Amino acid sequence: MQIKRRNFFKLAAVGAGSVVISPRPTRAERKKAGDSFACLVDTSRCIGCRKCEQACNEINNLPEPARRFDDLTVFDSARRPDARRFTVVNRYHSGRIDDAGLLVADYVKIQCMHCLDPSCASACVTGALSKHDNGAVHYDVSKCIGCRYCMMACPFEIPAYEYHNPLTPRVMKCNFCEEQFTRQHKAPACATICPTEAITFGKRTTLLQLAKKRLAKYPARYEQHIYGEHEAGGTAWLYLARVPFKKLGFLTLPSNPLPRLSELIQHSLFSYLWSPALLFALLGGIMYRNRAKNDSGEGHKQSGGVS
Amino acid sequence: MRQIHLQILMLMVLTCTYTTWVYAATTGEQWVAPAQEKALRRAQAVVPMVKEVKQEGAIRRSQRLHALGVSVRDVKDSYFVLNSPFIKAVEDHYGAVRFNHGQHAAESGDCTICHHLRAKTATPAKNGDKPLETQRCSACHQQAFNPDYPERLGLKAAFHQRCIPCHEQRHKGPQTCRGCHLNNVPDHKKLVKLPDNADALQVTAECLRCHETAANDLQHSAHWLWRGPSTHTQDHENSVRHGKGTTALNNY
C-alpha cells in the first residue's frame, strides 16, 4: 500500500493533536492522594536551640562545623544550607514585641522542601534526582554528572555542590532521612531531636488537617496561611508562622508546579519524537517534490540543450 | 614545713576520695537516697495510654476542680525524676531532669496549669474519697508522631512546651537548657586506666588526660586564685594576701 503525502500529513497532524490535547498529568496530580510523608514546621514553637542542625550533622556524617552547635551567636548573620550543612536555623526580628516591649525573635529552619513536583528532578538530565513515592526527593550520586542544573532550577536555592572536592564532588541537600522512615520507621533526625516538637512528622494529608486545626484553634497565634500547601505546586515540608511569611525570608511563589510550563513545552514538542519526525517528513516531502520537479525540469533543459 | 603539711593533707584527701571511688566501683554499691530511688522507680513505670480526653476549657476546668475541692494540698509525691523510657528509647543525650513537684505546685497554686486535661472517664481513686482529676504527663503524652493521635504531643515536647514559657514568663527557675539538663556522664570504669597502686599524682594526671579544658578553666577561677586576709591561719594572722593565688600550695 502506498502512503500518499496528503495522508501522511493527516496522520501526523492527528498524532500531534492528540499529544497536545491530552497533556500527561503532573506528578503532583498523580500523587494527590497525599499518602507521602511530610513535615510540619511550626515556627511559633521553635526556640532556636540548633539541635536539629546538630542531629542532621551527626546522622549524615557531615564535617564538624567551624563553630559549635551550642554557639547561638551564629544567629547574628543569616546563613544558607550548603555542602557542609543540610539545614540551618535563622533568626528574624519581624517587629513582634513581648509584654515588656522587647523585640521577640522568630526562628526559621530551612532545608530542602521536598516539593511534590520538584524542579530539580525536572531539570536533572540524568535522572539522578527523583521524587520518591514516600515523599523524599532522592539524589542518586551514581547517576549524577555534576551539571548543577538542579541548583539553577530549585526555587529555594537548596542544592549545594562540593566545590572543595574536585575528584568526587556531590550535590548536597537534605535527604529527608529517607532511610530512617523507610527502614526503621523513625522520624527524620531533626524532627526526633526537636525538644518542642516544632517539627511534626507524618503523612501530608494528616499534617495539613493538623495545621488547619491549629490555625482554627489559635487564630491569634498564627498567620492564617500554610506555607507549602500550594507554593510551587505543594511541598512536603509545610510551615506555620506567627507573622507574615514574607517577613521570615520565605519566597512568594506561584501555586502551580514550577516545572509544569517547561515540561508542557518539552513534552508536547518532543514526546514520541513527533516534532522532529514531522520536520524531517516535511523536509523529505519538499525534497521529494523538488527532485520530481528537477527531474522533469532537468530532462527538459537537457533535451533543450541538445537540440 | 607548713607547705609540706598542706601537701600531706591534700594527698590524704585525694587518697580518701580515690579509695571511696574504687570501693564504689568494685563493689557496685552506691548509696541512693530513698526519695531518689522511689522517683527513679516511678520514672520507669509506663501507664496505659489515655485515648480520649474530657474536652473542657482551662477556666472551666480550674473552676470545676476548685468546686470539687481538689487543690495543691492533695499533692502526694513531691519529687520526680523525669527519665521516661518514652524519651530514652528515641534519644539519650542528657541525664535525667530532677523535678520538684511539690515546689511547683506550691509556687503555681493551681494544678490545672500543668494538668490541663484529664481522661474522659476519671480514674477512680484507690482508697481516697475523690476520683483522680489529674494524671501523670505520660498518661496522655507518650511517643511523638503517633499517627493515630496527630495533635497529641510526645512526652518530650509536652515537657518543654509546658516548662519553657512558664519559666520565661515568671522569671523563675532555670531559663537555659543547662539549668535543667546535665550531660550524660559516661561510665568512667572503662575510661580510667590506672595501675593497681596508683599514687595521687598519677590519679591527677589520669584525670587531666581528658579533662584538660576543665583544668585550664579551674586555673582561672577563684578556686585557684583566691587570696585574702587569713586571720585564722597560724603565723599569717596579719597577712592580707594569703591564699592559693599567692603563698599557699597549688594542687588539684
CB-based burial label for A219 (10 Å; 0-12, 13-18, 19+): exposed
Chain B neighbors of A47, CB-CB under 8 A: 160, 164
Q: What pLDDT shows up at residue B128? A: 62
- Whether the complex's predicted ipTM is more than 0.85 is answered with no
Most B-contacting residue of A50, A71, A197, A210 (CB-CB within 10 A), to test interface? A197
Give me the residues of B, 194-233, that contact A with CB < 8 A: none
Higher pLDDT, B14 or A81: A81
Asked if A111 and A86 touch (Cβ cutoff 8 Å), the reply is yes
A48 reaches B (C-beta below 8 A): no
**Any idea which of A289-293, B18-22, B97-101 has the lowest mean pLDDT?**
B18-22
Q: Does position A199 have pLDDT exceeding 80, yes or no?
A: yes
Q: Nearest Cβ partner of A196 from B91, B147, B160?
A: B160
Assign B25 a pLDDT band (cuts: 50, 70, 90). Answer: low
Q: At which residue does the C-alpha cell 575528584 appear?
A: A167
Nine cell digits for residue B240: 592580707
Q: Which residue has the higher pLDDT, B252 or A274?
A: A274
Q: What is the pLDDT of residues A127-143, one digit of tens each?
A: 999 999 999 999 999 99
Closest CA to A187 of A215, A207, A214: A207
pLDDT of residue A277: 93
Could you say which of A197, A203, A209 has the minimum Cβ distance to residue B144? A197
Span A2-25, average pLDDT = 50
Asked if the model's pLDDT at residue A21 lies above 50, the reply is no
pLDDT for the residue numbered B154: 95
Superfamily of structural domain B34-180: Cytochrome C3 (3.90.10.10)
The predicted pLDDT at position A185 comes to 85
Does B12 have pLDDT greater than 80? no
Q: Which fold has domain A33-119+147-256?
A: Alpha-Beta Plaits (3.30.70)
Nearest one of A58, A48, A83 to A189, comparing CA atoms: A58
In which band, very low, low, confident or very high, does the pLDDT at B3 lie, cut at 50, 70 and 90? low
Q: Which residues contact B12 (CB under 8 A, 6 or more apart)?
A: none
A44–chain B nearest CA distance, Å: 11
Q: For position A227, what pLDDT does the model report?
A: 97
Mean pLDDT of B82-102: 91
Retrieve residue A10's grid coordinates: 493527516
CA angle (A81, A84, A90) in 5-degree steps? 30
Instruction: Give the closest residue to A24 by CA, choosing from A249, A260, A237, A242.
Output: A260
User: pLDDT tens, B94-135?
Assistant: 888 999 999 999 999 999 999 999 999 877 766 666 678 899
Q: Looking at residue A213, what is its pLDDT?
A: 96
Q: What is the pLDDT of residue B222?
A: 87
Check residue A18 and give its pLDDT. Answer: 46
Per DSSP, the residues of chain B read: -HHHHHHHHHHHHHHHHHHHHHHHHHH------HHHHHHHHHHH--PPPP--EE---HHHHHHHHHHHT--GGG----EEEE--HHHHTT---BPPEEEEHHHHHHHH--GGGT---EESSPBPPSSSSSPB----HHHH--STT-TTSTTSPPHHHHHHHHHHHHHHHHT-S--SHHHH--BPPP-HHHH----TT--HHHHHHHHHHH-HHHHHHHHTSHHHH--B--TTSTT-TT-SSBSTTTTSPP--
CB contact under 8 A, A206 and B150: yes
Q: Do B151 and A207 touch (CB under 8 A)?
A: no
- Is 90 exceeded by the pLDDT of residue B232? no
Q: What is the reported pLDDT for A8? A: 52
Q: How many residues does chain B have?
A: 252
- Chain A contact set for B156 (CB, 8 A): 195, 197
pLDDT band at A94 (very low <50, low <70, confident <90, very high): very high
B19 band by pLDDT with thresholds 50, 70 and 90: low
* The pLDDT of residue B136: 92
Q: Where are the domains of chain A?
A: 5-24+264-306, 33-119+147-256
By CA distance, what is A186's nearest residue in B? B90
CB A116 within 8 A of CB A233: yes
Nearest to B145 among A200, A209, A213 (CB): A200
B57 touches chain A (CB under 8 A): no
Nearest beta carbon to residue A197 from set B91, B154, B164: B154
Chain B residues close to A209, C-beta within 8 Å? 150
What is residue A17's predicted lDDT score, i.e. its pLDDT?
Answer: 47
Q: Do B161 and A197 touch (CB under 8 A)?
A: yes
pLDDT of residue A1: 44
Residues of A in contact with B145 (CB under 8 A): 187, 191, 200-202
Q: What is the tens place of the pLDDT at every residue in B180-191?
A: 998 888 888 889
Mean pLDDT of chain B: 85
pLDDT, tens digit, for every residue of A231-281? Answer: 999 999 999 999 999 999 999 999 999 898 888 888 888 888 899 999 999
Start-to-end Cα distance in chain A: 40
How confident is residue A20, by pLDDT bands cut at 50, 70 and 90? very low
Which cell numbers hold the place of A141?
550520586
Which stretch of A100-114, A216-230, A256-270, B18-32 has the lowest confidence by average pLDDT?
B18-32
